[in-house]
Amino acid sequence: MSATTGSAAATSYAHGSWQTPLLSDTIGVNLDRTVTAHGERVALIDRVTGVRWTYRQFVAEVDMVALGLLASGIVKGDRVGIWAPNRAEWVLTQYATARIGAVLVTINPAYRAHELEYVLNQAEIRMLIAATQFKTSQYAVMIEQVRTRCPGLEQVILLDDPSWIALLETGRAGDPAALATAQAMLSPDDPINIQYTSGTTGFPKGATLSHHNILNNGYFVGELCGYTEADIICLPVPFYHCFGMVMGNLAATTHGAAMVIPSASFDARGTLETVATERCTSLYGVPTMFIAELAEPELDTYDLSSLRTGIMAGSPCPVEVMKQVIDRMGMREVCICYGMTETAPVSTQTRRDDSIHHRTATVGRVGPHLEIKIVDPTTGRTVPRGEPGELCTRGYSVMLGYWNEPGKTAEAIDSARWMHTGDLATMDHDGYIAITGRIKDMVIRGGENIYPREIEEFLHTHPDILDAQVVGIPDPKYGEELVAWIQLRDGATLLDATALRDFCHGRLAHYKIPRHVHLVDEFPMTVTGKIRKIDIRETSTKLFADEQADRT
């Protein structure tokens, strides 16, 4: 049914051909098609709340939220934020905003007040839908802390609160004709989602994605997984990221498959119980999630025989982990995906019949209807196969741009619409891509992309810190862990790792807080005065080798 082609010459270029054309629908119209074809099949299961909706019930709930938003004054193009862990209402909001053309701004549940404030203002969010609290995150409290500094924020709707119930009641009394009118005004090329991805020069940038971007990416990821209406997809990955809402939710709804929420945030035992009880056919996760599931003492007591496939993404998968996922969990067709938020997200994917070598040593081949190439970062010329260079992607998946940042957009997407990933890679003669490094200093910790510059700028707000440099070092549990080199001001008291973490706690997302701290009088420099992060990284790896080894 499909083929992946490269150029006749042995250059690092490939195009993914596919007999099925790109979808030309909006997300709402596509959902209607699924309801018509599979209305009585299960659409969504939330194990925490007990929600179990068929597609016909699901779309009725979605439309109730959509009508509530319209009645609240939300119109096409308005930004609506969602700040909550995984739950059924998150999915309703995703599809309801798409029905009316509002732009859903997905906010990381781990964000703290200063990060929330930035996103609310940068995206000019008119309405924020949020959980009241979850674990140690007091969302309602943090919203009140920043609300006076966010003049564009007009409405806050809290889940498990009368304000959410009121939204539903308003929607229940709404006129379906108003929703039909709103949906008729939409185009597949309209922006529909803003996802924030950390930048190398400070605050996060809002990757702006269209219906066309994410609907097609979800659909073709599902195609390569072999999804049909019979599939039941277990989603312990967060919805605020493309992994959950695109590769998960949209892959499901474009195929009439079921979405299953095992828990509000990842829980290894709860995930295994969900797979066994709901007879899930597919399971998602970053490698650390699968490692945790494999480490469960009672793993072999769970009946995982229904599993066929799944997706592992976020960081490289160790060979032994992949073998166990296939052998002990039965995921014989598990896929590896690679991409970035700016490409909606998947650009390459392994196929269901690929070898273990291809699923661990590579990130697969180019996806359907996409182009990839590897270029010399200096000259921009496509390199011969087997030679390293920067990986670039072009096609339907490339974002519209960074929200309100045309300069940053121009830096990432060239005049020929190639998205420059900043990742170093090679392409072999069969078109498989291996990621060999990163041009940028991005750190991947447990599947979370972290850019040190954002953390460094935050650390500069500490009164005793003169300068700070943050790098990643290898970690057996999370793939990488953060190290902060700190230069103190004259007369400042000593600052250790515990004190620094206390300073960051509640102000930075937990995964951005450095685990290790090293105090220095100066940083290694080049002759031109640039800090040599490569030297910092190498020295840190040696300095903290014993502590890291204790984490195995």
Which residues on adjacent β-strands are paired with residue 519?
Answer: 486
Does the structure show a pLDDT above 50 at 201?
A: no
Closest by Cα among 151, 164, 271, 214 to 22: 214
Q: Is residue 148 included in any domain, yes or no?
A: yes
Residue where a domain stops, chosen among 395, 424, 453: 424
Closest by Cα among 57, 56, 19, 10 to 37: 56
Q: Are residues 418 and 514 in the same domain?
A: no
Q: What residue type is assigned to position 81 of the chain?
A: G
Q: Are residues 133 and 269 in the same domain?
A: yes
Domain of 538, CATH number, reads 3.30.300.30
What pLDDT, on the 0 to 100 scale, is given for residue 527?
Answer: 47
How confident is the prediction for the chain on average, in pLDDT?
93
> Which tokens go with 196?
């924030």
Q: Is residue 438 included in any domain, yes or no?
A: no
> Which tokens go with 512?
């951005």
Does the structure show a pLDDT above 60 at 5?
A: no
Q: Is residue 18 included in any domain, yes or no?
A: yes
Q: Which positions ≥6 away from 169 have C-beta within 8 Å?
A: 68
Domain of 88, CATH number, reads 3.40.50.12780
Tell me the mean pLDDT in the region 540-547: 90
Asked if 227 contacts 282 with a C-beta cutoff of 8 angstroms, the reply is: yes
Q: Which positions ≥6 away from 27 have C-beta within 8 Å?
A: 95, 98, 99, 192, 211, 214, 215, 250
Which residues on adjacent β-strands are paired with residue 428?
Answer: none
Task: Give, for 142, the enclosing helix (H) or strand (E).
Answer: helix 139-146
Q: Are residues 366 and 490 in the same domain?
A: no
Does the structure show a pLDDT above 80 at 198?
A: no
Q: Is residue 430 included in any domain, yes or no?
A: no
Asked if 237 contacts 286 with a C-beta cutoff of 8 angstroms, the reply is: yes
Q: Are residues 391 and 260 in the same domain?
A: yes
> Which tokens go with 244?
């959950």
Q: How far apart are CA 62 and CA 242, in angstroms?
A: 20
Q: Are residues 17 and 104 in the same domain?
A: yes
User: What is the total count of domains within the chain?
Assistant: 2
Q: Is residue 239 included in any domain, yes or no?
A: yes
Asked if 65 contacts 96 with a C-beta cutoff of 8 angstroms, the reply is: yes
What pLDDT, on the 0 to 100 scale, is given for residue 200?
Answer: 39
Q: Are residues 310 and 418 in the same domain?
A: yes
Q: Hey, is 322 helix, strand or coil? A: helix
Q: Are residues 324 and 450 in the same domain?
A: no
What pLDDT, on the 0 to 100 scale, is given for residue 315?
Answer: 73
Q: Are residues 383 and 505 in the same domain?
A: no
Q: Are residues 453 and 416 in the same domain?
A: no
Q: How far apart are CA 233 and CA 235, in angstroms?
A: 6
Does the structure show a pLDDT above 60 at 10?
A: yes
Task: Give, for 156, the enclosing helix (H) or strand (E).
Answer: strand 155-158
Residue where a domain stops, chosen among 361, 390, 424: 424
Q: Are residues 369 and 482 in the same domain?
A: no
Does the structure show a pLDDT above 70 at 8?
A: no
Sheet containing 433-438: give its strands across.
2-6, 13-18, 370-375, 389-395, 419-427, 433-438
Per mean pLDDT, which range of 111-115, 253-257, 259-263, 348-352 is the poorest? 111-115
**Which ranges constitute the DSSP H helices of 260-353?**
268-278, 287-294, 319-327
Integer angstrom CA distances of residue 325 from 108, 190, 239, 532: 28, 39, 23, 39
Q: Is residue 16 included in any domain, yes or no?
A: yes
pLDDT digits (tens, 9 = 90+) for 467-484: 889 999 999 989 999 999
Per mean pLDDT, which range of 194-203, 322-331, 381-390 is the poorest? 194-203
What pLDDT, on the 0 to 100 scale, is given for residue 526?
Answer: 55
Q: How many CB atoms lie within 10 A of CB 186?
A: 20
Integer angstrom CA distances of residue 220 from 55, 226, 252, 344, 349: 21, 10, 11, 12, 10
Of 3 and 447, the structure prediction assigns the larger pLDDT to 447
Asked if 485 contacts 523 with a C-beta cutoff of 8 angstroms, the reply is: yes
Does the structure show a pLDDT above 80 at 102?
A: yes
Per mean pLDDT, which range of 129-138, 207-216, 225-234, 437-446 is the poorest? 437-446
Q: How far apart are CA 83 and CA 214, in angstroms?
A: 20
Q: Are residues 128 and 199 in the same domain?
A: yes
Q: Is residue 528 included in any domain, yes or no?
A: yes
Q: Are residues 365 and 292 in the same domain?
A: yes
* Domain extent at residue 531: 443-549
Q: How many CB atoms lie within 10 A of CB 552?
A: 7
> Which tokens go with 63?
């439309």
Of 377 and 185, the structure prediction assigns the larger pLDDT to 185
Q: Is residue 434 included in any domain, yes or no?
A: no
**DSSP label of 149:** G
What pLDDT, on the 0 to 100 scale, is given for residue 525?
Answer: 76
Q: Does the reported pTM lie above 0.75? A: yes
